[in-house]
């Protein structure tokens, strides 16, 4: 290869890298501006409605984390049965399972998510309180990615006790990550977690469609449970904001 050919190859490589950086820069400006607004990213999960069906796997599930992250696909449908002792029995659009972080979604939700990226499904069989097969459900697998949660960005709050005569505590809130680590998917999971994060447009579409048994929490309001709570002595402390 001549010197001129090598120079031409290097110019093509540099041009490709420059183009990629420009595309990422434009993407950041269009969607987030200079800094990502984490209050417009949401942790999506089942709301735990009192009447909603809650299920549990009939058999052991190999590596549920890999299934949830779309890294492994079950060879056959995973069977879920009504969880004994649960109060609800109505199959809503989102169905929680006794195996975190697996979540089931209705065919209606699948259609609503068609235009969004970062997710796929796997086959399931869902059975109700009386052992009846409930058709039209899928397992949700999240294929979008971002880097790990940065504990250093979480904010400390002073939290009231959940019961009378309980102890006040200091907890940390806000789930943040390096915005350059995000792959741009509409639905994604931070590295090392089972948190289903969605962009605001996903939330808006699902709320307009009145999707049932779904809960969206801004990442800025999510507790960072990886940082242990500190229980305090005495009366209500005066330092820090009050949280829940």
CA dist 129 and 131 (Å) reads 6
Q: Nearest Cα to 63, choosing from 105, 103, 104, 99?
A: 99
Return the minimum-mean-pLDDT range out of 97-106, 174-183, 228-237: 228-237
Angle CA 30–34–39, to nearest 5: 85
Q: What are phi and psi of 52, to 5 degrees?
A: -75, 145
State the chain's mean pLDDT as an integer.
Answer: 87
User: 54 pairs with which residues across the strands?
Assistant: 96
Least confident range of 13-27, 37-51, 144-158: 13-27
Q: Give the span between the Cα atoms of 61 and 98, in whole angstroms.
A: 11
Tokens of 145: 């990615």
16-25, 52-61, 132-141, 142-151: which range is least confident on average? 16-25
Q: Is it the case that residue 26 has pLDDT exceeding 70?
A: no
What tens digit of pLDDT does each residue of 43-74 get? 999 999 999 999 999 999 999 999 999 999 99
Does position 8 have pLDDT exceeding 70, yes or no? no
Residue 16 pLDDT class (50, 70, 90 cuts): low
Q: How many CB atoms sit inside 10 A of residue 202's CB?
A: 23
The pLDDT of residue 110: 98
Distance (Å, whole) CA 72 – CA 119: 13
Q: pTM of the prediction?
A: 0.80
pLDDT at residue 189 is higher than 60: yes
Contact 140/94 with Cβ under 8 angstroms? no
Nearest to 224 by CA among 145, 153, 163: 153
């Amino acid at each position: 290869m001549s010197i001129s050919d090598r120079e031409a190859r290097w110019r093509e490589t540099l041009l490709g890298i420059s183009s990629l950086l420009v595309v990422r820069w434009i993407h950041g400006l269009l969607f987030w501006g200079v800094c990502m607004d984490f209050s417009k990213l949401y942790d999506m999960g089942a709301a735990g409605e009192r009447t909603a069906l809650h299920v549990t796997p009939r058999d052991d599930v190999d590596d549920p984390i890999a299934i949830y992250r779309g890294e492994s696909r079950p060879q056959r449908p995973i069977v879920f049965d009504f969880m004994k002792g649960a109060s609800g029995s109505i199959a809503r659009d989102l169905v929680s399972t006794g195996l975190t972080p697996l979540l089931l979604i209705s065919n209606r939700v699948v259609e609503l998510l068609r235009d969004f990226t970062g997710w796929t499904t796997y086959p399931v069989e869902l059975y109700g309180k009386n052992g009846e097969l409930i058709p039209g459900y899928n397992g949700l697998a999240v294929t979008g990615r971002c880097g790990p949660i940065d504990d250093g960005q979480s904010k400390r709050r002073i939290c009231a006790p959940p019961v009378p005569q309980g102890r006040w505590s200091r907890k940390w809130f806000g789930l943040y990550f390096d915005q350059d680590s995000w792959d741009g998917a509409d639905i994604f999971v931070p590295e090392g977690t089972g948190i289903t994060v969605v962009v605001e447009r996903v939330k808006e579409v699902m709320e307009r469609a009145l999707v049932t048994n779904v809960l969206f929490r801004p990442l800025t309001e999510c507790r960072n449970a990886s940082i242990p709570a500190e229980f305090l002595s005495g009366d209500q402390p005066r330092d820090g904001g009050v949280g829940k």
